[in-house]
Amino acid sequence: MHIPDGFLDLKTCVTTGVAGALAVAFGLRKTRDTLMRQEVPKIALIGAFIFAAQMLNFPISGATSGHFLGGTLAAILFGPAVAVIVMASVLIIQALVFQDGGLTVLGANILCTGVIGIYSGYGFYRLGLGLLRGRASHVVTFLAAWISIVSASAGVALLLAWSDTFPLDIALKAMVGWHSLIGIGEGFITAMVVAYLTERRIAIEPLPAKREVPQA
Amino acid sequence: MNEPRKVTGNKRKWIVLAIVTLLAGGIISYFASPHPDGLERVAEDHGFIDKAESPSWTAWIADYEVPGIGVPLLKVGVAGLIGAGLLFLVLYSITGSLSRRVRGKDDVGQNDDHAS
């Protein structure tokens, strides 16, 4: 859901530009305080993966496609501050080199698919894990990724309405409608990759009871 | 940290992810759905897709197709590999310059970490 140049008016571009820049600055600052050296190649690899996965548009109904975004994935693995940097880097390179998403709306894209998507998805993830005490974490991950796509699309709808491109109620309905389908794909990919790349944090547990040796 | 799951340190899994990334960007990307995505669909349905401008002079690989390559599969695939490679380099240098601490080594005295 990369917004192209021309969809948003000047005030929206400027406001979101400032907000996006602040968010990235905050992300960089926070990351500087907490980042561990051994995470660096992993973060870089996840960024490359997110870029490649975003190219893979999958068909949904009605001659429409959707693609992975990855904000929730990056946030679950490395925290929301790092995720903002990853998503901003992906969006900046896509806009600069690949003409995917406009330059004047870069801030808007960072705000919606980055900040809103990341914090809504990650917020739900932490809340869900807390409430369920870590049970059903794959389901929580799936739902978190779904919510992040739907919130990001609602953010885009708000900006479209604010720019008078499109009335708010129709914009919300249309954007949220399509992206609640696309979010299912996001949920599956995020849950799969998180399951593969994370392990349970195990405190020292007693060994399982010895099984009886079967009689020959 | 009370996260129930931690990021794996298993090198093999990260190598698998790297291979998946190369396959996704380099080959599978060619077979991606050409249909408009969610936002483009909404813009088409409600008549403002024509507002989209694409004047960016910096975009030397517009629409994920490297100019000057004849084979369509390569056109998209090379674009995917360049993009993934760029992301790796950019994020490696950004996060690399931000991280100074190595777990266990420099933990002592981390409170006066305000130099520079």
Model pLDDT, residue B53: 82
Choosing among A10, A64, A91, A182, which should be mutated to test the B contact, i.e. which has the most B CBs within 10 A?
A64
What is the distance between the alpha carbons of residues A3 and A152, in angstroms, rounded to a whole number? 12
Smallest Cβ–Cβ distance between A199 and the set B5, B60, B76 belongs to: B5
Model pLDDT, residue A62: 80
Smallest Cβ–Cβ distance between B52 and the set A4, A56, A57 belongs to: A4
Residue with tokens 């599956």: A188
DSSP string, A9-49: -HHHHHHHHHHHHHHHHHHHHHHHHH-BGGGHHHHHHHHHH
Q: Note which residues in 22-61 of chain A have CB less than 8 A from chain B.
A: 28, 31-32, 35-53, 55-59
The alpha-carbon gap from A177 to the nearest alpha carbon of chain B, in Å, equals: 9
The alpha-carbon gap from A172 to the nearest alpha carbon of chain B, in Å, equals: 10
Instruction: Kindly determine whether residue B95 and residue A201, on different chains, have CB atoms separated by under 8 Å.
Output: no
Segment B13-68, tens digit of pLDDT: 999 999 999 999 999 999 999 999 999 999 999 989 988 886 667 778 988 999 98
Burial group, residue B74, by CB count within 10 angstroms (0-12, 13-18, 19+): middle
Backbone angles phi, psi at A88, to 5 degrees: -60, -40
Contact of A127 with chain B, judged by CB distance below 8 Å, is answered with: no
Mean of the per-residue pLDDT values for chain B?
85
Model pLDDT, residue B1: 43
Q: Chain A partners of B20 at a C-beta cutoff of 8 Å?
A: 49
CATH number of A10-197: 1.10.1760.20
- Of A91 and B99, more confident: A91
Q: Taking the domains of chain B in order of start, what are their residue ranges?
A: 9-33+65-98
What is the distance between the alpha carbons of residues A88 and A81, in angstroms, rounded to a whole number? 11
Model pLDDT, residue A184: 97
The alpha-carbon gap from B94 to the nearest alpha carbon of chain A, in Å, equals: 9
β pairing state of A64-66 and A198-200: unpaired
Q: In the structure encoding, which two tokens stand for residue B10, read together?
A: 């298993």
3-class SS letters over A104-141: CCHHHHHHHHHHHHHHHHHHHHHHHHHHHCCCCHHHHH
- Read off the pLDDT of each residue in B5-17 and give the average, rounded to a whole number: 93
* Rounded mean pLDDT for each run of 10 residues along chain A, 216 residues in total: 93 97 96 93 98 96 93 97 98 94 95 98 97 93 98 97 93 96 97 95 64 65
Model pLDDT, residue B116: 43
Query: Confidence class of residue B111 from pLDDT cuts 50, 70 and 90?
Result: very low
Q: Chain B partners of A137 at a C-beta cutoff of 8 Å?
A: 4-5
- Residue B86 and residue A93 in contact, taking contact as beta carbons nearer than 8 Å: yes
Query: Confidence class of residue B113 from pLDDT cuts 50, 70 and 90?
Result: very low
Reply yes or no on whether the pLDDT at B115 is more than 50: no
Model pLDDT, residue A40: 96
Q: Taking the domains of chain A in order of start, what are their residue ranges?
A: 10-197
Helical axes A80-98 vs B72-98, angle rounded to 10°: 140
- Of A216 and B6, more confident: B6
One-letter amino acid at A148 equals: S
Smallest Cβ–Cβ distance between A47 and the set B62, B64, B88 belongs to: B88
